[in-house]
Amino acid sequence: MVVPTTDDWLHISEVFYNKTQFPNCLEAVDGKHIRLECPPRSGTLYYNYKHFFSLILMAICDANYCFTIIDVGSFGKERDEGGTPQPFVIIGKAFALHTNLLRPFPGRTLNDKRRIFNYRLSRARQNIECTFGILSNKWRVFHTALLVEPDFAVVITKTCCVLHNFVRRRDGYNTEDAQNCEMKDAIEKIGVGNSTSMAKEVRDYFVNYFNEPAHELSWQNKVIG
């Protein structure tokens, strides 16, 4: 998979905004467990907190449900995090808050401004959830545990991601895609620790941005009730 150039990133951000109305966002990021049968002589190395054996597929996708960057092969019990340089951000639910990686506010007693931010973030994050859903339903090998050695499972996963992009770009939008957005075996949380004050300021900037009349969606207040 070719790493995007600066011009590619700018184009990706523009297309992402046109689709999601989320500014300065490169893409959505998330992780998925690739199920394995217990690899021989591996002990608990591939045994994850969901109580099955797996490798981790970390991926970033664009607005057209194509993978831009993937990383596959970490042990199921490992967790990692990453990001891209400012001023652009990547959005994700499972990651710790960083200056260049936004996550939703936790809790159920949020004020309306924060609830709107969470809605706008969730709306944009659906891209990666749909991308994983489309991948799994197109390449049904992911519907069950892979009966191969971990190294070969990495090759299978990378190959399917490349083929996924090829089919997406060849066939374009398919109405069935909207029905394949259920993401199974998602990673629930990646990264621990307290967020910096700068990271919180970046998120607060987006909170205020999405609540300004010039940048609000006409239906967002109805959605949050």
pLDDT tens readout for residues 121-159: 999 988 898 999 999 989 999 999 999 999 999 999 999
What local confidence, expressed as pLDDT, does residue 78 receive? 46
Question: How many domains in the chain?
Answer: 1
Where are the extended beta strands (E) located within 62-121?
A: 67-75, 89-91, 101-102
Place of tokens 């970033």: 60
The mean of the pLDDT values for the chain is 85
Q: What is the mean pLDDT of residues 164-189?
A: 75
What local confidence, expressed as pLDDT, does residue 156 receive? 96
In our burial notation (b when 16+ CB lie closer than 10 A, e otherwise), range 116-139 reads: bbbbbbebbbebbbbbbbbbbbbb
Residue 182 lies in a domain: yes
Name which of 79-93, 98-112, 116-130, 206-220 the model is least confident about. 79-93
Asked whether the beta carbons of 16 and 26 are under 8 A apart, the reply is: yes
* Cα–Cα separations (whole angstroms), residue 35 to 181, 193, 223: 19, 28, 36
Residue 85 lies in a domain: yes
| pLDDT exceeds cutoff 70 at 183 | no
* Cis peptide preceding 150, ω within 30 of 0: no
What local confidence, expressed as pLDDT, does residue 2 receive? 84
Residue 140 lies in a domain: yes
| pLDDT exceeds cutoff 90 at 111 | yes
Phi–psi pair at 99, nearest 5 degrees: -65, -25
Residue 209 lies in a domain: yes
| Residue with the larger pLDDT of the pair 16 and 42 | 16
Asked whether the beta carbons of 220 and 119 are under 8 A apart, the reply is: yes
Phi–psi pair at 163, nearest 5 degrees: -65, -35
CA–CA separation, 86 and 91 (whole Å): 13
Asked whether the beta carbons of 24 and 128 are under 8 A apart, the reply is: no
Residue 17 lies in a domain: yes
What local confidence, expressed as pLDDT, does residue 160 receive? 97
Q: Which domain holds residue 140?
A: 6-223
Residue 116 lies in a domain: yes
What local confidence, expressed as pLDDT, does residue 84 receive? 39
What one-letter code names the amino acid at 22? F
Percent of the chain with pLDDT over 90: 52
| Residue with the larger pLDDT of the pair 157 and 46 | 157
15: DSSP letter: H
What local confidence, expressed as pLDDT, does residue 87 receive? 53
pTM of the model: 0.83
| pLDDT exceeds cutoff 70 at 28 | yes
CA–CA separation, 150 and 64 (whole Å): 30
Name which of 45-49, 79-83, 162-166 the model is least confident about. 79-83
Residue 1 lies in a domain: no
